[in-house]
Amino acid sequence: MTQPKFSVASVVRNEAATLPRLLASLSEFLKRGGEFIVVDTGSSDNTVQVARDGGATVYEEGPRFHYTCDESTARDINDKFVAGGEGPIIKDGDKFFAFDKARNYAMGLAKNDFLATPDADEQWTVLNIDRINELIDEGYEKFYVDFVFSHFADGKPSVAFRADTRFYDRRRITWKGIIHETMQHKGELKTAVLPKDVAYLEHFQNKETDRSRYLSGLAWACHDEPGNDRNSHYFARELMYKGRYRSAIQEFMRHIGMNGWPDERGQSMIYMGDCHDYLGEKDKALEWWQKSMTIGSARREPFIKMAHYFKKQNNPPLVAAYAAAALEIKHNGFYANRVANYTFEPHALMYWAKGWQGDIPAAKQHLMKCLEFHPTNEKFLDDMKYYFKPEEIAMVRGNL
């Protein structure tokens, strides 16, 4: 068996619960003499032992890549980013992890110039070493890999996209950004898309992972690099997730004003609508969802938002109109696209709307499309009683 012509490098901390899954997915890679570098950044569990027992070369670096916020900086950040009296985001003494420095350090430890850099809560469902070796020999410098970020309860992907941050030649790539690190390179790269039978990466986040420093770290990053539009978007999104809607709206507005990546600006507009919706400001929510329809590539997300809004208003014609419009839009590969919106969600909205409009044949067709995607979904199965005769339900259930 040919030895892998790439190394694997991961930065970890307290990953004893997730690392075995990644190690298992690298079993053939390790058997063939592959190098797995693990940089541990201060684990308090047995991550280091798990990594070593699994065949990784471990470097224990402790707090080497940590920053500490001082009182003056904390005050400046809160003054700039807190809105609506929502309370401080960051305080004196808060510590942050410099992801870019840790990744660059891990890259430099490897024997091979070509690297795969999965996180410890991911696994290679497919990793065709021979084909990857061939592509490396052909001079490719970065690979795009199909990546599943999250899953439905039945294991199917719920958020999935092509990632360009997991396979690359370190001679052309460096990382920059202490929280949401991004790739930096000069000039054009020779890239290839790896089909799913060559590489397929899936993420299984440990829900017990401490994310308490993520928000304040993004605040630090936006203070340190105020012109970084990607950090601004992620920071505003995290503010929204934490229920800081006024502060999130303020930061989304800042991000939109930077005129950066159109699809990400459009997503900020969708989130702006969500924030206003959470605050009960329905007219503003509709305004921002509508604005997002015209920014960047055509995406289904704002149309689905509008359809759900009018479903709450018990307005079947408008639900059907927006859901039908969504069905005309193809997936554009944007990382924030929800798989549901490109599979069953528009059909679920359509069968509800068509049912209330009295178009039972159309409702049945759309409900069957939902069951094609998720044949064990209890809601879809239960809703059959509204559109199908008992003998039809028995037949459909028997064929699922």
Contact criterion met (CB below 8 Å) for 381 and 371: yes
Contact criterion met (CB below 8 Å) for 144 and 192: yes
Question: In angstroms, rounded to a whole number, what is the distance separating the alpha carbons of residues 319 and 53?
Answer: 55
In a domain, 37, yes or no: yes
Question: In angstroms, rounded to a whole number, what is the distance separating the alpha carbons of residues 233 and 271?
Answer: 10
Report residue 310: phi and psi, to 5°.
Answer: -75, -20
Question: In angstroms, rounded to a whole number, what is the distance separating the alpha carbons of residues 396 and 246?
Answer: 48
The span from the first CA to the last CA of the chain, in angstroms, equals 42
Q: What is the pTM of this model?
A: 0.86
**Structural domain boundaries enclosing 337:** 310-400
In a domain, 88, yes or no: no
Short-list 132, 129, 159, CA closest to 143: 132
Question: Domain check: are 133 and 252 in the same one?
Answer: no
- The mean pLDDT of the chain is 94
Short-list 345, 393, 394, CA closest to 366: 345
Q: What is the CATH number of the domain that holds 144?
A: 3.90.550.10
What pLDDT score does 211 carry? 61
Question: Domain check: are 106 and 252 in the same one?
Answer: no
Question: In angstroms, rounded to a whole number, what is the distance separating the alpha carbons of residues 185 and 189?
Answer: 8
In a domain, 208, yes or no: no
Q: What is the CATH number of the domain that holds 337?
A: 1.25.40
Question: Domain check: are 49 and 168 in the same one?
Answer: yes
H or E element at residue 60: strand 57-60
- pLDDT digits (tens), the chain, 400 positions: 799 999 999 999 999 999 999 999 999 999 999 999 999 999 999 999 999 999 999 999 998 998 899 999 999 999 999 999 999 999 999 988 888 999 999 999 999 999 999 999 999 999 999 999 999 999 999 999 999 999 988 889 999 999 998 999 999 999 988 777 888 888 999 999 999 999 999 999 876 665 667 898 899 999 988 999 999 999 999 999 999 999 999 999 999 999 999 999 999 999 999 999 999 999 999 999 999 999 988 999 999 999 999 999 999 999 999 999 999 999 998 999 999 999 999 999 999 999 999 999 999 999 999 999 999 899 999 999 999 988 888 887 777 6
Beta strands in 74-227 (DSSP E): 95-97, 114-116, 122-127, 142-151, 157-163, 167-169, 174-176, 182-184, 191-194, 199-203
In a domain, 243, yes or no: yes
Question: In angstroms, rounded to a whole number, what is the distance separating the alpha carbons of residues 256 and 233?
Answer: 8
Q: Are strands 114-116 and 7-12 parallel, antiparallel or unpaired?
A: parallel
Number of structural domains the chain divides into: 3
Tokens of 94: 């808060």
Question: In angstroms, rounded to a whole number, what is the distance separating the alpha carbons of residues 234 and 374?
Answer: 31
Question: Domain check: are 141 and 58 in the same one?
Answer: yes
Question: Domain check: are 191 and 334 in the same one?
Answer: no
Question: Domain check: are 289 and 319 in the same one?
Answer: no
Domain closes at, from 249, 264, 296 = 296
pLDDT digits (tens, 9 = 90+) for 218-273: 999 999 889 999 999 999 999 999 999 999 999 999 999 999 999 999 999 999 99
- Helix ranges restricted to H, 198-261: 214-224, 229-241, 245-257
Question: Domain check: are 61 and 113 in the same one?
Answer: yes
What pLDDT score does 181 carry? 81
Question: In angstroms, rounded to a whole number, what is the distance separating the alpha carbons of residues 356 and 349?
Answer: 11
Question: In angstroms, rounded to a whole number, what is the distance separating the alpha carbons of residues 329 and 332?
Answer: 9
pLDDT digits (tens, 9 = 90+) for 169-179: 999 999 988 77
Question: Domain check: are 56 and 116 in the same one?
Answer: yes
